[in-house]
Chain A
């Protein structure tokens, strides 16, 4: 029974990885298939007024170092600032696939920059995971899970 459950857990983990991959593809589709999606703005709402998000028009460091169009506006309901960005360049086809695998997809890079910008402006830091000082040991299900976890810091609802 234990093996059956463990097997199911492995399948679930594999499914998670596959679903993550599928979701990643869904969020970052090829421009040829969905030109609207490829040009869509990625946005975060930052709990700071606009003049603190980009004082004197200077973009925060994480965004300043990526090649992206940026716009911002005051968020409704006293929620701070809506900050939007989208990459100037797109990588399609096989090049896009390899870029995603290497974590170099332009939309992923912009997504990460937006998330770090928000965290820096709100908290002054970007929180690091305890995984940096690991306690885990290598297992087959763990390897499958690592495929999903390796990209998990780049995701999030943007």
Chain B
């Protein structure tokens, strides 16, 4: 079959690879009908995520049709149109039973790597390195889905493929940031990053009752898209001091909840970007935590900061003093998607949550390298490139 493969730092190619197969009795094979780029893929492309091999199939946010199920699959059958969570959960360990699916204890067959890096084993993820289990990604004609009864969700009639596609990752990730960040009615919420996840976090904050939501980015088209489709306030960080601007808009307090949706390759104006960029290239720090630092400084005393952006390792100049002395709560997680996907599909069906506008560019799988080039460099206002392997 055809698949988009990582070949090295900033090198992708479309290759013929062996078809996936049922390896466990609870597996299914899904024919991928749409699969989208994600900002976290850029960390793989840039070589910042360890344990990638030349030839690995990437992609983790997808929708498709089940074409084959293993003998112990009970809730799905061939022909089901499903959206699949990017995070693989077993559904029965203590973490999954407590809706902390990205902490699943049975879905990563390579636990030694994350244990070494983080002192604990996390869930498997599709197309996200051998550290996350060595599972193939979704930028392919077919994909194997382990524990399919727990990780695939039937898409309701009336919800289009492109609408449902973002229920795989961007929408539940954003929702989690707002919900676990503790957003409640009357709050002021700031979201760093106006990519798909940031926009979904901003929309989730509004649906959870936030009185004001302010999203921060530097790309005019993303700021305009956020203002238009999410309906929140925006700040262009290249034209102002974000912390001062937030104080001015919040009576001097700062936001109640700050959601960071940027990750390890954050940009900024000024010397901070140069400092972190040099240290990251020399591997003296693995991640650039620029937006996290700013969120901690901007957050009101006693407020909450949620880290949604992907980080891999160690960072420098982390403002622990501000965190401690301001009495902040800091949380983070890979998405616990299975916790949110059913109700998000319901909201999408009712029109509460719009997602299809995020698919700014739709193309064939053969155009995968071009799609990632556009996505990475924000060419032509690309927010998400969506690949249709069978179109």
- Identify B135's interface contact among A9, A125, A130, A151, CB under 8 A: A130
A131 lies within 8 A of B72 (CB): no
Top 4 nearest A-B pairs by Cβ distance?
A155-B112, A156-B111, A136-B55, A152-B112
A-B contacts besides A130-B136, A135-B136, 14 pairs, CB < 8 Å: A8-B283, A9-B9, A13-B51, A20-B112, A45-B94, A118-B105, A122-B90, A122-B106, A123-B26, A125-B24, A135-B15, A135-B57, A142-B54, A149-B110
B134 CB within 8 Å of chain A: yes
Select the stretch in B118-126, B168-176, B291-299, B376-384 that faces chain A. Answer: B118-126
**B136 lies within 8 A of A153 (CB):** no
CB distance from A18 to the nearest CB of B (A): 11
Q: How far is the CA of A20 from the CA of B130 in the complex (A)?
A: 14
Task: Count A interface residues, CB 8 Å.
Answer: 48
Q: Are B53 and A128 in contact (CB under 8 A)?
A: no
Distance in angstroms from A135 CB to nearest chain B CB is 4
Cβ of B147 within 8 Å of any chain A Cβ, yes or no, is yes
Ordered by A's residue number, 24 sampled pairs between the chains whose C-beta atoms are within 8 Å are A2-B9, A2-B10, A5-B9, A5-B47, A9-B47, A12-B50, A47-B92, A118-B105, A122-B105, A123-B106, A123-B147, A127-B106, A129-B133, A129-B135, A130-B144, A133-B19, A133-B23, A135-B3, A136-B56, A137-B54, A148-B112, A152-B113, A153-B112, A156-B111
Closest to B120 in A: A157
Compute how far the CA of A8 lies from the CA of B47 in the bound complex, rounded to whole angstroms. Answer: 9
In whole angstroms, what is the CA distance A19 to B147 when docked? 32
Smallest CB separation, B351 vs chain A (Å)? 37
Looking at chain B, what size class is its interface with the partner chain?
Answer: 35 or more
| A142 surroundings in chain B (CB, below 8 A) | 53-54
CB-nearest residue of chain B to A3: B9
Q: Which among A47, A131, A155 is the interface contact of B115 at CB below 8 angstroms? A: A155
B342 beta carbon closer than 8 Å to chain A = no
